Amino acid sequence: MLDRFDAQILRELQRESDIPVAELAERIGLSTSACHRRVKLLEAGGLIEGYSARVNPRALGLDLQAFVEITLTSQTQEALDAFERAVMLYDEILECVLTTGSADYILRIVARDVADYDNIHRNCLARLPGVSGMQTSFALRSIKRWRGYPVAG
């Protein structure tokens, strides 16, 4: 269980991962050395897996976001493993989650436009093993973007 300081550290780092430790410590009411020690413990304990920059996809020309529901011909361990290994080979697939319901997996993909998505569909999605069906939904507008996990404490 996290105490309030660890929870505050996680919330702040999810909002601004490049914050200097001294500023982080000031925000949450700890000394710089105590805050630094806690951050290192959170990293060592696996609560903090790494740090990254949030990149604006539109600034990169990636204006189209698609969610692709994938149904496989079989749900054997071998079929699932083969599909999951193949997904890892394509940078165009940003996320892949195994789901319950009508689809076996949902993929998140970004593309420049519909023509670029068509290219991704032909040269990436169509090559995934064991796929019996695909249903694509295009995002019209993002209402709320993920900014971090809720942290109690």
Place of tokens 């550290």: 9
For the chain, give the longest Cα–Cα distance: 57
**DSSP state for residue 133 in the 8-state scheme:** E
At residue 18, the pLDDT reads: 94
Which domains occur in the chain, in start order?
Answer: 4-44 (1.10.10.10), 62-138 (3.30.70.920)
Instruction: Give the global pTM.
Output: 0.84
Alpha-carbon span 30 to 114, nearest angstrom? 50
Of 57, 71, 51, 77, whose CA–CA distance to 128 is shortest? 71
The per-residue pLDDT of the chain, averaged, comes to: 95
Q: Could you read off the pLDDT of 27-56 as tens digits, one per residue? A: 999 999 999 999 999 999 999 999 988 889
Q: Which residues have CB under 8 Å from 70's CB, separation 6+?
A: 83, 103, 104, 105, 106, 107, 128, 131, 133, 134
